[in-house]
Amino acid sequence: MKFLDGYWLLRKGMTRVLHADYVEREAGKNSLSLYAAAKKIEKRGDTLNLPMLTTEITAVMDDVLRVDVCRHKGALPDKPAFQPEECVPSSVSVDECSVTSGRLKAENTGGTVVFSYDGEELTARERTLSGCYILDGEAYMAEYLRAGIGETFYGLGERFTPFVKNGQSVDIWNEDGGTASEQAYKNIPFIISSRGYGILVASYGRVSFEVESEAVEDLQFSVPGERLSYYLIGGSTMRDVLMRYADLTGKPALPPQWSFGLWLSTSFTTDYSEKTVMSFIDGMEERKIPLSVFHFDCFWMKGFHWSDFLWDDEMFPDPEGLIARIHARGIKVCVWINPYIAQRSALFDEGMRKGYLLKRTDGSVWQWDMWQAGMAIVDFTNADAAAWYCSHLKRLLDMGVDCFKTDFGERIPYEGVAWSDGSDSRLMHNFYSFIYNRTVFSLLQREKGDDAVVFARSATIGGQKFPVHWGGDCSASYQSMAETLRGGLSLAFCGFGFWSHDISGFEDTAAPDLYKRWIAFGMFSSHSRLHGSSSYRVPWAFDEEAVRVTSFFTNLKKSLMPYIMAAAKGAHETGIPVMRPMILAFPDDETAKYLDREYMFGPSILVAPVMSADGVCRYYLPAGRWYHILSGEVEEGAGWKIGKYDYFSLPLYAREGDAIVMERDDGLVLHIYGDAEADAEGISVSVKTGKVELKAADERFRAVILHDENGSREALIENGRIRSI
């Protein structure tokens, strides 16, 4: 939200109630309090009839400070309020003008607050701009933090706008707007800087960010009301910041290995029955395309009945038998659900009678006709309503269903409604996505244990704890493919370790060339799903080459499963995502700051999806020697490259010194790139001319494959020892 009119003036109708000219300080055990008056206090009478801004800076964990700013503190506490993960700082020091947590320091000097890490300034509060603003009788708290020359900002959820957020105005407010707009399904009030710090605004409400888009020297963020709380997270690198953010907000659960394979959907408005489903599964098997999950989208239930969790008995007369037959092929089953109850649903009357549906302030059930006629919303703040909802999901699990696609959760009303537990409806708009997905994921954990996984669209702070998330309604175009990737990379900077998208676009039907290019991108995402709106996404619906391309990349991903699972475990333990923005992996590379059409897939594989019909791709390789994983060609970085690729290839590189574990029919192999030392998730390998020395062997490995500019060579392993090459 913009408060200023140019450099000197305020917007029309805007007043600023505080301009901090005088500050008193008070040190606590783990905190420093600042009391800023609107004018300099020279005599006792000056303390009368003026506002005061109170700032409390608290050490909450090593390298993390919480900043609480308020004008009037008597407002009711937020409900729901952000609750950080349990954390205690191990190193804190406080004096009369500063507080230090670990290596992060906040110091009040000259009327402002300067934040530094290891003695180097990160940012500083703009004293004359930060404060309380009033517009049309409504109060807003705004913080202005100084931005550096060349500093770039990222994150703010799954945003499909430009990857670098400088110059953008962003409202943190969940919407169902597709991928071709400034709206987002997953809004996270977390922004991370290339200078090595992050800001998390501790609110589930509408947080507005102005990223050098109002005062162009500042990062500005604001919330309605007279209180603002945020966390400033420091680190030596952006990776450190992201790991501490995960410590603060929660780390993603580890999805089961089967979920990383290929998912195939019925699609949305297509006609499908048991016969159609089994023909798809048969077709994939006949064409040697390994399938991990079959997904039934909305019309597994009858139209106008969503959600009643009852199979359409005309299309699926024997759902238990069908699920058993799918399981017999080694394939898991997912079904679509949402938290909305249509008026014609068998559950509506019961939900209304028992008070399980969201109500208006007059006590009536909130309803509208968008999506489903007479649709109501399950009130998950009511524990009985959550248990009721889960009881119907458990019935599906008892039938053999393995997981759920938790669709929707964004269009949650915030005016004229009353939640069962008294929560603020403005805060519940975003927070609903959290309790909806938590409810379903928790049920799956109870019933399925380590096999728990959802396919979720909406999220807010902490939503990464309930994976997997996918990118919503994209279109069948190369532009949409690019914006989808931007959304995934932005979300990765908010601690979401696992992410997917609708391969070839949800809306419309892709041309065969786009389908084949998107297949490669999709199979080099943490999770991979073929799904669409009005047409099927089986590859033979496009052309025969699409079948071969799908088989090739699906089997390639299958061979990389040991490597992928190691990266997944790392995401679960640290919060570093499987798909990593280039600036996260190469923080000292100035060019990497702006790369949004390529990424690192795990620690060692660079992926640049081809986004053109002619197969030409321009991509960037950071410094070092790079080996193309498919062709073996060697390229030198740092610099831009251009190449033309057929449908069975794309820029796919490992850097010299990397080691990648792969699986083939006769066992595991370790690919080592270059004549240098290498590491692969705890297996350290030293490569010397003419022979291989394995410092730490794993008896599961059959071979080590050495890659250098002269090609590849294989060294067999017997009893944990290396044979001569």
Q: Which of 226, 473, 596, 656 is catalytic?
A: 473
CA distances (Å), origin 393, targets 337, 389, 444, 466, 551? 9, 7, 9, 17, 33
Is the N-terminal amide bond of 440 cis, ω within 30° of 0?
A: no
Cβ neighbours around 413 below 10 Å, total: 15
**CB-hemisphere CA count at 13 Å for 536?**
15
> Is 410 assigned a catalytic role?
yes
CB 252 within 8 A of CB 572: yes
| Partners of residue 569 on adjacent β-strands | none
Q: Which of 410, 596, 656, 708 is catalytic?
A: 410
Q: List all residues 6 or more positions away from 472 whose beta carbon is below 8 Å from its beta carbon.
A: 158, 176, 178, 179, 185, 457, 487, 506
Is the N-terminal amide bond of 307 cis, ω within 30° of 0?
A: yes
**Cα 215 → chain centroid:** 28
Distance CA 21, CA 631 (A): 65
SS3 state of residue 197:
strand
Helix, strand, coil in percent for the chain, rounding step 5: 25, 35, 45
DSSP strands (E only) in 446-598: 469-470, 499-500, 528-530, 579-581
CA end-to-end span of the chain: 65
| Partners of residue 100 on adjacent β-strands | 93, 105
Q: Which of 280, 333, 281 is nearest to 311 (CA)?
A: 333
Q: Which of 56, 78, 240, 407 is catalytic?
A: 407
Q: How many residues does the chain have?
A: 725
List the alpha helices (DSSP H) in 500-543.
512-523
DSSP strands (E only) in 387-439: 403-406, 417-418
> Is 473 assigned a catalytic role?
yes
Show which residues are catalytic. Answer: 407, 410, 473
